[in-house]
Amino acid sequence: MAERLNYQCKFEKYKEELIRLRRHFHRHPELGLQEFETSAFIQEYLGKLGYRFRIVEPTGIIAEHPCQDEAAFAGKKKVVLRAEMDALPIQEQTGLSYASENAGVMHACGHDGIVASALVLARILAEEGEVFPVRMRFLFEPAEEIGEGAKRMLEAGALDGEPDIFLMFHYAVDQSFGMAVHEGQASAMINGMEIRVHGKSSHWCEAHKGIDSIYAASLVVKALHDLNETYKGKGPCLIGIGTIHGGEYSNIITDLVTLRGNIRAAYEEDYQALDKRLKETLNEIEAKTGTRIELEYPKPAVLPFANDPELTRIAETAGRKIFGEQFLLEGEEQLFLSGDNAYRYFLHIKGLFSVFLSGIPDKGYPLHHPKFQIDEDILPYSLEALYEILSGIDRDM
């Protein structure tokens, strides 16, 4: 891989440790707010390096190294780096030798690699001491997948002491071996939704006495598909249905169908417009079918966030140095419609979101897929890119 990039990775010496850690976490995934073994492992690892840390109940960790005293790090920027710990309720189907040993739970979003990289970066800080380019605080965040972690970390003081910069990173598999940073907008506004279609139950031999909620639900699905095809907004956006549940008996008209899905938009104005069109569409289907349709958003929307322009330039310099032409500076046309509760940090502090491209050819299973895999060769390169970004912050800001 180094030859293909024409770049000799300086952190190749950490590759074995990165893979060891990543495979440990992959083998032992835990769901949000249940990451007790993961948290204990991280605490032990950091403790051996001399870190001071405090627990964010039940499993989160805020960690700093005592070598970063005011005298040694006077004038250096204070950087907060977030690493998510939680896994997903998915039964792994990769067949890997280090596949999940916890039934029905899998690291299918790359958090195992994120935690491994953060821990080795913490090790480098402990080894370098005052030579390290910036003052660091590490956040090991629980429950990112269910949108709970960032709020808990902030309430526990994740940004206390007025740090200067927030960093986060992900591993993505839509492309192979590289790095991407968005210029400006870096995430989408998203929300989960539930649509309940209420009809009237009857035996199919007396269909005229019933109101068919399954038929009405099919019109909802068709209407949302058409809306996605016809709506033209400022940026990428969509409404999608992920599950449909309704009926128990083949000879009975069911009185309730529940559809669960999500609404996603790069820009809030498109989100609001889609929400308005969705409600109008459901009202029309109610009138046509005689059903009663409820729309609910169980949680507040996840807001979008944007990369700081100065940090984007620093990341571009680091990315082009290490990945060359395989570094991508992306605009809104490449915006991936994902969201992250990390927007809560961006409300208080300027930040940067970097993506390391780690797809394996012919194994292009997406995020949250039971066969999701990352190319572990990316790990030392992504670690060096993070270090180069920190060096750029020290040098250029």
Helix (H, G, I), strand (E, B) or coil at 7: coil
pLDDT-above-90 percentage for the chain: 91
Assign 304 to helix, strand or coil: coil
- Give the span between the Cα atoms of 373 and 12, in whole angstroms: 21
Q: Which helix (H) or strand (E) holds 260?
A: strand 256-265
Q: What angle do CA 201, 281, 235 make, to 5 degrees?
A: 140
Residues in the chain, overall count: 397
The model's pTM: 0.90
Tell me if the bond preceding 58 is cis, omega within 30° of 0: yes
Question: From the DSSP assignment, how many helices (H) and strands (E) are in the chain?
Answer: 10, 14
Q: What is the mean pLDDT of each run of 10 residues along the chain (397 residues)?
A: 70 97 98 98 98 97 95 94 98 97 97 98 97 97 95 97 97 93 93 97 96 98 96 91 96 97 93 96 97 96 95 98 94 81 96 96 90 96 98 94
What are 339-383's pLDDT values in tens digits?
A: 899 999 999 999 999 999 999 988 879 999 999 999 999 999 999
pLDDT tens digits, one per residue of 297-351: 999 999 999 999 999 999 999 999 999 999 999 987 777 788 899 999 999 999 9
Note the Cα 261 to chain centre separation in Å: 17
Structure confidence at residue 3 (pLDDT): 47
DSSP 3-state assignment of 354?
Answer: strand
Q: Is 92 helix (H, G, I), strand (E, B) or coil?
A: coil
DSSP at 381: H
- Axis crossing angle, helix 268-289 with helix 213-230, rounded to the nearest 10: 150
For 162: left if phi > 0, alpha if psi spans -120 to 50, otherwise beta; the answer is left
